[in-house]
Structure formats: structure tokens, C-alpha cells
Amino acid sequence: MAERFRRHGDAYFRFITTPGVEPTNNLAEQALRFVVIARRITQGTRGEPGRRWCERIWTARASCAQQDRSVFEFLHDALRAHFTGQPAPSLLPA
């Protein structure tokens, strides 16, 4: 533990020296909260294809929410691109 602190100690207290850096991971936990609730309500998935679909749709939803984009518009654009042979829309910020 001491060795880890020697190597990464400055990162542990970055929130003190860098304005805008939160001292907790609350934002990350809040971003995942809807996944936990959905998994509890639906009792999860039964197979790998279902898990992969959930991973992808939840990633799209979270990314669109962070960018204040419509997830429905993104999915519409993605499906249209798929069926017309066009490149898929990006989830990266513009």
C-alpha cells in the first residue's frame, strides 16, 4: 500500500489542487444508477446476447444523456445507417 501511495499519491488528492475535480465518484455512481434499477426490475438477462444488448443500449443512453442528445434520435439514425449501408453515427461528443 505504501508503494502504491508513493507512485500514485498525487492522484489521490488531485481534487485539492485542481478546480472542478470532485472528491468523490458520485457522478459516476449516479450515471450507473438507472442500470442497477433496470436490472432489478427486469431481473437481469438470461444469456450472453441479452447482456450484450443491454450493455450497448445502456451505453448509448448514458452517452446521449451526458451530451444532452436524444437517445431515440441516435437509435433512429443508427438503424437508418445500418439499413442503408451508411456509417453508424458516433457516440463521441461533437
Q: How many residues belong to the chain?
A: 94
pLDDT averaged over every residue in the chain: 85
Using CA atoms, how far apart are residues 86 and 94, in angstroms rounded to an integer?
A: 19
For 18-42, what is each residue's pLDDT tens digit?
Answer: 888 777 777 767 777 777 777 778 7
Whole-number Cα distances in Å, 93 to 25, 39, 73, 79 = 21, 27, 15, 19
Q: In a 3-state reduction of DSSP, which class is residue 28?
A: helix
Question: pTM for this one?
Answer: 0.58
| Domains of the chain by residue range | 45-94
CA distances from 37 to 5, 47, 55, 58 (A): 35, 19, 14, 12
Kindly report, residue by residue over 40-79, the tens digit of the pLDDT.
787 777 788 888 888 888 889 888 988 999 999 999 999 9
pLDDT for position 32: 73
Distance CA 20, CA 64 (A): 22
